[in-house]
């Protein structure tokens, strides 16, 4: 690992400077644009932080210690902001395109799971659950797409309404509240497993 410092030099025309009838000629070099403006995170640093967090399950506070050994003085708040910003700026358009392609499918596997949150960010009691949904298309309808969605409450009617109205078959893997599906979805075929 190495630290790369980019310097932008500015040059002016010495001859033009003395002539009051000519505009000053200033030329400036261009440094590469960072993936996150006003940030020292390079594309490779962002990729490593996100890979370690989501593939290696290495928490950000532990990554800070590792980055400190390499000479990058940062904190977990910076790393968290980098992950959020990079996800929003670079990964959200990909997610939305995949979601759009998934909406054209007629068969969809859906799984719901939940886990208890100890300290909720919205101030509610830690005795409540966070819900995670996995949507997966089937290989017989083109490339398989798998998407994830999370929420602090069981808002099935809100989160699935647009998808459910277009589906012909939905395979629901152990779902708790399949009876809570919107009443407008009449005549659809649901396969409940589990």
Q: pLDDT (tens digit, 9 = 90+) per residue, 72-124?
A: 889 999 999 999 999 999 999 998 898 888 878 878 887 777 777 776 566 66
Q: Does residue 40 surpass a pLDDT of 50?
A: yes
Beta-sheet pairing, 169-173 with 189-192: parallel
Stretch 120-134: mean pLDDT, rounded?
Answer: 69
HSE, side-chain direction, 13 A CA sphere, residue 68? 9
Cα 35 from Cα 56, distance rounded (Å):
23
C-alpha distances (whole Å) from 37 to each of 8, 76, 84 are 16, 18, 13
**pLDDT confidence of residue 65:** 93
C-alpha distances (whole Å) from 130 to each of 22, 110, 152, 157 are 66, 17, 5, 16
């Amino acid at each position: 690992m190495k630290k790369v410092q980019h310097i932008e030099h500015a040059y002016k025309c010495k001859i033009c400077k003395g002539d009051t009838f000519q505009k000053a000629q200033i030329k400036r070099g261009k440094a590469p644009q960072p993936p996150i403006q006003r940030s020292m995170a390079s594309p490779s640093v962002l990729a490593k932080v996100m890979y370690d967090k989501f593939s290696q399950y290495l928490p950000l506070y532990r990554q800070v210690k590792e980055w400190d050994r390499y000479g990058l003085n940062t904190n977990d708040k910076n790393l968290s902001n980098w992950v959020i910003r990079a996800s929003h700026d670079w990964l959200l358009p990909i997610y939305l395109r995949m979601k759009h392609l998934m909406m054209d499918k007629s068969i969809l596997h859906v799984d719901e799971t939940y886990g208890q949150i100890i300290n909720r960010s919205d101030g509610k009691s830690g005795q409540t659950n966070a819900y995670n949904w996995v949507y997966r298309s089937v290989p017989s309808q083109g490339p398989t797409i798998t998407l994830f969605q999370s929420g602090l409450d069981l808002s099935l009617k809100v989160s699935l309404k647009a998808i459910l109205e277009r589906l012909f078959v939905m395979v629901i893997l152990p779902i708790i509240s399949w009876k809570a599906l919107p009443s407008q979805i009449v005549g659809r075929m649901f396969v409940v497993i589990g």
